[in-house]
Amino acid sequence: MKNKRRNYSAAFKAKVALAAAKGEKTVAELAIDGTISEAPEFFALLSTSLKSAGHQVHVVTYRDPNSAEETKQELADWNIQYDALHLPCSDSTLGMGEWKGEIAEQLNLDMMIDDSLEVLAAQPKGVLRMWVVPDDVLR
C-alpha cells in the first residue's frame, strides 16, 4: 500500500514553530486505531521529535482496558515514544468522544490527533484538533 503524504496547515506549522521557538512545552494526544495505525512511521517520527523537544505525548485509546500490555507492545513495535497510555476503566459508561474529552481536560492537552470527528468535537476549548481522515471518507 502506498503511503500518502499528509499536509499540515500554515497555521498549525506556525503554532508549533512558535511554541518551539519560545521553548514552550506542549501536551499532545495520539489515538491508535485509525490514526497511528494508518501511518506508524510518521507518528514514530512525530512522537520522537516531540519527546526530544521536551513535550509530553499521551496515547489515549478507547480499546478494551484489559489490552494494556498488548497495546504497549504494539506501540513499542511501531517505535512510538510516549509518556503515558490511557485506556478507559472497565466500568466506564462514557462514550468514546466524551471519555477522550474528559482525559484531554484532565491532562490539559494542547493538541489532539484523532480519526474521529466525534472525538475532536468533544475536546475542550483551546485544544488544537487534527483530523486524520480515514480512506473511506474520501471515497
Span 28-48, pLDDT tens digits: 666 777 778 888 898 899 999
Q: Which carries the bigger pLDDT value, residue 2 or residue 132?
A: 132
Q: Which carries the bigger pLDDT value, residue 29 or residue 107?
A: 107
pTM for this one?
0.74
H or E segment and range at residue 105: helix 96-107
* Residue 138 half-sphere exposure toward CB, CA atoms < 13 A: 7
CATH 3.40.50.1000 fits 25-133, yes or no: yes
Domain residues of the chain, as ranges?
Answer: 25-133
d(CA 63, CA 60): 9
Q: What is the mean pLDDT of residues 57-80?
A: 92
Is the per-residue pLDDT at 6 higher than 60? no
